[in-house]
């Protein structure tokens, strides 16, 4: 792809909302620069918030793409799909890809997002669960749940509860095994929780408090039919469903940044300008913890609007700006006039 | 659902690229699909050089390969990367996901998969090593993956693999394991591309057989079915496999094959064998044909039947031995000294190779002359599914034998007859003793250079060939597409005609009135039919794979009419899109003239 001589090479790791927005802003701000996106995905950028549509019969990946292929050609944005980053050398400004290719950069934006978190006590049952964090996982899950089938949802973060809305709407049965991660990333007090659970039940979601049943003892396959699942609780009670779907929040994808020279806590630590502790390396989206003067701590910011704003801000600062981070959305969980839950994290454009 | 899928496998010599292509096309043909396939390989034997196996799989007969593939497999990224843009949008690119050596930036296929294409990184090497203990079966792993990804019956592949390795038990066992590894990996792979195979359609009549065969094999099969007795040859790319195949088959049928010390010996032996009444042939390429020129003249003046199969390659001289070209037409039609007319026929597809090979023996015998069957590397190596009739469609003996001689009358081997063909005795025929010489001769065959005789004999040698224009059950030329007046007529010959036919069909769908004519009989030239076709065309386009426009030259020598030439010497088949562009341009300019 032709770029001007001596033009900078901006590399973005991650093709989600933050990464794609950053690439677009970089192209606008630096028309001559080379912009490369590295992503694990085999698809171009698609909106993860649209994924519940698979339960409404939308299975063609083309329907989920945010932009057509021509967009990337027209904007001269290189997209390297199925490319796993093995490591980053901040001092040499080099990225090592797992397939042994090295890519040099002038600036790097890490927007690798997060993957679905599974509590340690449940990791051995991972093969029996149907996660829902990518298009392929969504289509696979939709393929195993029959019409009016029963989904057992573990955890119940706001991504899961968004799906639950669709599942109820499409006349599926949803049983939520609630726990500490229910309503994540909202911070919900003990006082607020009963009302919110009641609101969920009003939405049509059956709720089982995991703690009341002594926690999950095991997940099994084939108890009733080849593909059916059984969730057995420690108190001997059990649930049968067509699929068990984990929604325990996100865990930042930062392993490849170990040894890069960038400080990491749970996510990549960045200053209010979204720059990491390493010169020329920025981070945006679910992968970074931003210093908050108000809270006097590094913290995550979630939600489509926040993530997109972070991608845009990081790109503007890479291109020479020095603007500080300002949250782009409300984070408060509400119960609407209809008695149902309303979350700002469900809003996207 | 109609199937029209093109798969390319690109690798380095030694990767098993061509072998994978062979297994894949045999498997698909065995399932009932129609397959057209063309392999590209380097002149080197092993270790470097690019190999490409390309095949188009259809339910309806296709005439050429497509410009863009639906699926591309990379067995070696360094060779496959330049071809990444030859995969259509929403097509699949299958490649090795890892590397055992460090790669420079851009050295991996993932850097070149376009935004519209679908990437399938695959641990090809790892799967091969885990399943077989070696990386040699990477090509078979890929076949398993293709079978699984596109939901093709594994049994068809297993049959084709079994056939390929029928005498190599260890290789067969390893291949089975590697195939299964690829198949299992596909079962875990999420399919994203929109490539899908519909059910095959069988249209084979009772008694006929369908075979996946290339042009050289079809030539050999045609020669065998026509009853070839003797073959003399000297190896040369891309004709060698004609001789190799005949070497396997002829002894089983009582035939004799001899590898001579060079091409001069080969053609000399063919003329000698033809003199004895045997059905004799040789095969060569352009450089070999040059060496045969003198003895072809001997065959012409001696009126000795013989067949020369010529597969053209990039020239002149050693040129580009593994690249295709149609640049020996002048040599085939005109090459040699003196007025030495000969029959030259050029099939346009693999089925045509079979028919032309068999018919060449008929014509050589019926008109007592050398016959050249002119193909090229593209046709030699192109595989197609061919339906062979239950019985060979060739006459066993068309020699005009002398009748009983009147008492005391001398046998006239070169008798001047009404149709210019003389009765031909062969050694051993009672009363048929005669002289054959390279010197001009009288009716008895005895040297004579009188003006009258040379004129009469020259006329005889030329005029008798015109009868070949009405040779029974032989397609000399054929028109396709719109009947009556057309905006653009495309005339072509040989392997290139398939692309012309595809182009014509596509522009007709756009509303351009278009027809295409293939000319199989190049010498003698079917002037009347070609002139009639050209009279129907406002514009005439002549695409061919040579620089000079050799067929256009031949055409214009017979029909005085301007034509537009489209010439390519890339070493590759012509792109259908290039022909379409030219037809559109011609149709557009004609429309513009009309409007003006």
Q: What is the pLDDT of residues B385-406, one digit of tens each?
A: 898 999 999 999 999 999 887 7
Binning pLDDT at 50, 70 and 90, where does residue B592 land? low
Quote the pLDDT of residue B594: 65
- Does residue A239 surpass a pLDDT of 80? yes
Give the per-residue pLDDT at B502.
95
Structure-token pair, residue A145 = 């749940």
Kindly report the nearest CA distance between residue B63 and chain A, in angstroms: 31
3-class DSSP assignment, residue B373: strand
pLDDT of amino acid B60: 87
Interface list for B 180-199 with A (CB within 8 A) = 190, 192
Q: What is the pLDDT of residue B203?
A: 63
Short-list B11, B39, B21, B15, CA closest to B323: B39
**pLDDT over threshold 70, residue A56:** yes
- Interchain contact, A80 vs B111, CB within 8 Å: yes
Nearest to A69 among B99, B107, B116 (CB): B116
Mean pLDDT to the nearest integer, A292-309: 93
- Kindly identify which residue of chain B lies nearest to residue A42, measuring between CA atoms: B119
Give the sign of the dihedral formed by CA B114, CA B83, CA B214, CA B161. negative
**Contacts for B380 with CB less than 8 Å, ≥ 6 apart:** B214, B215, B216, B238, B239, B241, B242, B311
- Asked if residue A268 has pLDDT above 70, the reply is yes
pLDDT in tens, B78-125: 999 999 999 999 999 999 999 999 999 999 999 999 999 999 999 999
Cβ contact (<8 Å) for B115 and A98?
A: no
Report the C-alpha gap between A333 and A189 in whole angstroms. 11
Q: B430 versus A107: which is more confidently predicted?
A: A107
Q: Is B155 on the interface with A (CB under 8 A)?
A: no
CATH 3.50.50.60 domain locations along chain A: 9-113+253-318, 117-249
pLDDT at B42: 75
Q: pLDDT value at position A227? A: 66
Q: Closest Cα of chain A to B85: distance in Å?
A: 13
The CATH code of domain B477-595 reads 3.40.50.920
pLDDT confidence band for A330 (50 / 70 / 90): confident
Contact B502, B63 (CB under 8 A): yes
**For B304-313, what is the mean pLDDT?**
98
- Is the CB of residue B152 less than 8 Å away from at least one CB of chain A? no
pLDDT in tens, B246-273: 999 999 999 999 999 999 999 999 999 9
Residue A248 pLDDT greater than 90, yes or no: yes
Average pLDDT of the segment spanning B200-205: 72
B396 touches chain A (CB under 8 A): no
Burial B55-73 (b: 16+ CB within 10 A, else e): bbbbbeebbbbbbebbbbb
In chain B, residues 49-68 whose CB comes closer than 8 Å to chain A? none
pTM of the model: 0.88
B100 and A100: CB-CB below 8 Å? yes
For every residue of A33-95, DSSP letters joined together read SEEEEE-S-SS--B-GGGGGGGGGT---GGGGBSS-HHHHHHTTEEEETT--EEEEETTTTEE
Give how far A21 is from chain B: nearest CA, Å: 17
Residues in chain A within 8 Å Cβ distance of B113: 81
Higher pLDDT among residues B128 and B41, named by residue: B128
Give the DSSP letter string of B441-501.
B-TTS-B---HHHHHHHHHHHHHGGGGGGG-TT---EEEEE--SSEEEEEEE-GGGHHHHH
**Residue B94, C-beta contacts closer than 8 angstroms, at least 6 positions apart:** B71, B72, B73, B74, B120, B122, B142, B145, B146
Q: How far apart are CA B295 and CA B284, in angstroms?
A: 14
| Per-residue pLDDT, A226 | 63
Confidence of residue B210 (pLDDT cuts 50, 70, 90): confident
Chain B positions touching A139 (Cβ under 8 A) are: 190
Sequence-distant (6+) residues with CB within 8 A of A130 are: A137, A140, A141, A144, A243, A244, A245
- CATH class label, A9-113+253-318: alpha beta
Say yes or no: B105 contacts chain A, CB-CB below 8 A. yes
Asked if A12 contacts A22 with a C-beta cutoff of 8 angstroms, the reply is yes
Q: Taking 60 as the threshold, does the pLDDT of residue A216 lie above it? A: yes
For the ranges B57-61, B91-95, B265-269, B274-278, the lowest mean pLDDT is seen at: B57-61
* Facing residue for A72 by CB, picked from B89, B99, B115: B115
Which tokens sit at B230? 């003797």
Touching check for B532 and chain A: CB below 8 Å? no
Which residue in chain A has the smallest CA separation from B98? A99
Q: Which residues of B touch A99 (CB under 8 A)?
A: 97-99, 103, 108, 110, 121
Lookup: tokens for B576: 């259908």
Range with the lowest mean pLDDT among A177-186, A188-197, B199-208, B424-433?
B199-208
Is B80 at the interface with chain A, CB within 8 A?
Answer: no
Q: Which two tokens stand for residue A154?
A: 């573990």
pLDDT band at A3 (very low <50, low <70, confident <90, very high): low
Residues of chain A with Cβ-Cβ distance to B123 below 8 Å are none
Are A309 and A290 a contacting pair, CB within 8 Å?
A: no
Three-state SS for B178? helix
B99 touches chain A (CB under 8 A): yes
CA dihedral sign of residues A329, A335, A336, A338: positive
Cβ of residue B113 closer than 8 Å to a chain A Cβ? yes
Q: Does B88 touch chain A (CB under 8 A)?
A: no
Q: Which CATH number is associated with domain A117-249?
A: 3.50.50.60
B441-461 pLDDT, tens digit per residue, is 999 999 999 999 999 999 999
**pLDDT confidence tier of residue B201, bands split at 50, 70 and 90:** confident
Within chain B, all domains assigned CATH 3.40.50.920 are found at: 477-595
Question: To probe the interface with B, which of A71, A74, A99, A134 has the most B CB atoms within 10 Å?
Answer: A99
Which residue is closest to B121 within chain A, CA to CA? Answer: A82
Does B104 contact chain A (CB < 8 Å)?
Answer: yes
Per-residue pLDDT of A114-140, as tens digits, reads 999 999 999 999 999 999 999 999 999
Identify which of A80, A98, A100 has the shortest CB distance to residue B102.
A100
Of B108, B116, B192, the CB nearest to A99: B108
- Please list every residue in chain B whose beta carbon sits closer than 8 Å to the beta carbon of residue A103: 105
Do the chains contact at B98 and A69, CB–CB below 8 Å? no
pLDDT tier at B331 (50, 70, 90 boundaries)?
very high
Q: Is the bond leading into B238 cis (omega within 30 degrees of zero)?
A: yes
Cis before A98? omega within 30: no
Say which of B103, B115, B116 has its CB closest to residue A100: B103
Average confidence (pLDDT) over A242-269: 96
At residue B317, the pLDDT reads 94
Q: Distance between CA atoms of B413 and A109, rounded to whole angstroms?
A: 91
Local confidence band at A335 (pLDDT 50, 70, 90 cut-offs) = very high
Instruction: From chain B, pick out residues whose CB is under 8 angstroms from the CB of A71.
Output: 115
CATH 3.40.50.970 domain span(s) along chain B: 210-388
Q: What is the pLDDT of residue B47?
A: 60
Closest in A69, A101, A104 to B107, CB measured: A101
- Select the highest-mean-pLDDT range: A339-343, B204-208, B402-406: A339-343
CB contact under 8 A, B110 and A83: yes
Sequence-separated (6 or more) residues with CB below 8 Å from residue A226: none
Q: Say whether B98 and A104 touch across the interface (CB within 8 A).
A: no
Backbone angles phi, psi at B58, to 5 degrees: -140, 165
Q: What gap in Å lies between CA A236 and CA A224, rounded to an integer? A: 17
Pairing of the two strands A173-178 and A85-89: unpaired
> pLDDT-derived band of residue B366, with 50, 70 and 90 as boundaries?
very high
Class of domain B210-388 (CATH, top level): alpha beta
Q: What percentage of chain B carries pLDDT values higher than 90?
A: 89
- B105 neighbourhood in chain A, CB within 8 Å: 101-104
The one-character DSSP state at B564 is E
Q: Give the domain B4-187 fold.
A: Pyruvate-ferredoxin Oxidoreductase; domain 3 (3.40.920)
Compute the count of residue pairs across chains A and B with CB atoms less than 8 Å apart: 66
Contact indicator for B237, B43 with CB cutoff of 8 Å: yes
Q: Chain A: residue nearest B93 by CA?
A: A42
- Rounded to a whole number of angstroms, the distance from the CA of B48 to the nearest CA of chain A is 22
């Amino acid at each position: 792809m032709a770029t001007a001589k001596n033009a900078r090479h901006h590399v973005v790791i991650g093709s989600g909302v933050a990464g794609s927005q950053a690439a677009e802003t970089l192209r606008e701000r630096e028309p001559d620069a080379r912009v490369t996106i590295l992503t694990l995905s085999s698809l171009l950028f698609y909106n993860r918030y649209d994924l519940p549509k698979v339960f409404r019969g939308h299975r063609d990946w083309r329907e989920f793409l945010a932009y057509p292929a021509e967009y990337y050609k027209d904007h001269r944005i290189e997209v390297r799909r199925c490319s796993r980053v093995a490591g980053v050398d901040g001092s040499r400004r080099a990225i090592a890809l797992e397939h042994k290719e090295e890519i040099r950069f002038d600036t790097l934006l890490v927007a690798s997002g997060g993957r679905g978190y599974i509590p340690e006590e449940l990791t051995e049952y991972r093969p029996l669960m149907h996660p829902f964090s990518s298009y392929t996982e969504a289509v696979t899950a939709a393929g195993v749940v029959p019409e009016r089938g029963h989904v057992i949802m573990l955890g119940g973060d706001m991504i899961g509860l968004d799906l639950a809305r669709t599942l109820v709407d499409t006349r599926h049965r949803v049983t939520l095994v609630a726990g500490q991660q229910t309503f994540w990333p909202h911070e919900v007090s003990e006082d607020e929780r009963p009302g919110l659970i009641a609101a969920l039940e009003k939405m049509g979601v059956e709720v089982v408090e995991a703690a009341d049943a002594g926690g999950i003892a095991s997940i099994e396959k084939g108890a009733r039919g080849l593909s059916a699942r059984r969730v057995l609780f420690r108190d001997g009670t059990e649930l049968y469903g067509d699929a068990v779907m984990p929604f325990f929040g996100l865990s930042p994808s930062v392993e490849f940044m170990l040894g890069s020279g960038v400080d990491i806590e749970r996510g990549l630590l960045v200053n209010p300008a979204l720059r990491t502790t390493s010169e020329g390396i920025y981070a945006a989206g679910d992968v970074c913890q931003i210093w908050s003067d108000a809270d006097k701590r590094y913290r995550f910011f979630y939600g489509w609007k926040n993530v997109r704003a972070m991608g845009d801000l990081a790109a503007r600062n890479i291109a020479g700006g020095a603007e500080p981070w300002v949250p782009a959305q409300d984070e408060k969980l509400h119960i609407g006039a209809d008695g149902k839950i309303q979350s700002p994290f469900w809003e996207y454009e | 659902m109609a199937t029209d899928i093109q798969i390319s496998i690109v690798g380095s010599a030694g990767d098993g690229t061509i072998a994978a292509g062979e297994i894949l096309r045999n498997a698909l043909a065995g399932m009932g699909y129609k397959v057209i396939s063309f392999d590209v390989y380097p002149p080197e034997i092993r270790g470097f050089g690019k190999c490409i196996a390309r095949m188009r799989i259809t339910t309806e007969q296709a005439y050429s390969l497509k410009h863009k593939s639906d699926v591309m497999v990379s067995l070696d990224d360094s060779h496959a990367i330049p071809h990444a843009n030859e995969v259509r949008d929403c097509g699949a690119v299958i490649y090795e996901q890892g590397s055992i050596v460090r790669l420079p930036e851009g050295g991996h296929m993932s850097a070149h998969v376009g935004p519209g294409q679908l990437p399938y990184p695959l641990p090809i090497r790892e799967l091969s090593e885990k399943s077989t203990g070696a990386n040699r079966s990477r090509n078979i792993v890929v076949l398993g993956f293709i079978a699984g990804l596109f939901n093709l019956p594994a049994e068809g592949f297993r049959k084709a693999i079994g056939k390929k390795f029928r005498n190599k038990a260890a290789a067969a066992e390893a291949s089975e394991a590697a195939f299964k590894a690829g198949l299992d990996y596909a079962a875990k792979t999420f399919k994203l591309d929109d490539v899908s195979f519909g059910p095959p359609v069988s249209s084979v009549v009772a008694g006929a057989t369908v075979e996946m065969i290339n042009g050289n094999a079809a030539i050999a099969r045609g020669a065998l079915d026509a009853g070839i007795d003797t073959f003399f040859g000297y190896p040369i790319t891309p004709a060698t496999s004609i001789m190799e195949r005949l070497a396997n088959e002829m002894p089983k049928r009582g035939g004799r094959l001899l590898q001579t010390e060079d091409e001069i010996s080969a053609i000399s032996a063919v003329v000698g064998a033809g003199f004895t009444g045997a059905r004799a042939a040789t095969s060569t390429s352009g450089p070999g044909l040059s060496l045969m020129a003198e003895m072809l003249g001997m065959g012409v003046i001696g009126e000795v039947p013989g067949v020369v199969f010529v597969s053209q390659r990039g020239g002149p001289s050693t040129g580009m031995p593994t690249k295709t070209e149609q640049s020996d037409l002048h040599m085939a039609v005109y090459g040699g000294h003196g007025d030495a007319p000969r029959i030259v026929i050029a099939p346009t597809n693999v089925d045509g190779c079979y028919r032309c090979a068999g018919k060449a023996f008929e014509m050589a015998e019926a008109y007592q002359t050398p016959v050249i069957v002119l193909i090229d590397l593209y046709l030699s190596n192109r595989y197609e599914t061919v339906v062979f009739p239950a019985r060979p469609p060739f006459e066993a003996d068309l020699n005009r034998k002398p009748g009983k001689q009147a008492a005391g009358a001398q046998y006239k081997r070169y008798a001047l007859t009404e149709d210019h063909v003389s009765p031909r005795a062969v050694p051993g025929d009672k009363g048929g003793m005669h002289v054959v010489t390279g010197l001009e001769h009288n009716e008895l065959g005895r040297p004579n250079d009188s003006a009258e005789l040379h004129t009469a004999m020259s006329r005889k040698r030329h005029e008798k060939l015109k009868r070949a224009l009405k040779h029974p059950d032989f397609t000399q030329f054929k028109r396709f597409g719109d009947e009556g007046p057309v905006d653009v007529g495309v005339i072509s010959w040989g392997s290139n005609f398939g692309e012309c036919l595809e182009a014509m069909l596509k522009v007709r769908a756009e509303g351009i009135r278009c027809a295409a004519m293939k000319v199989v009989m190049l010498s003698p030239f079917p002037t009347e039919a070609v002139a009639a076709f050209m009279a129907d065309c406002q514009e005439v386009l002549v695409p061919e794979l040579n620089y000079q426009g050799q067929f256009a030259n031949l055409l214009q020598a017979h029909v005085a009419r301007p034509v537009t030439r489209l010439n390519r010497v890339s070493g590759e088949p012509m792109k259908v899109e290039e022909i379409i562009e030219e037809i559109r341009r011609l149709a557009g300019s004609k429309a513009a003239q009309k409007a003006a």
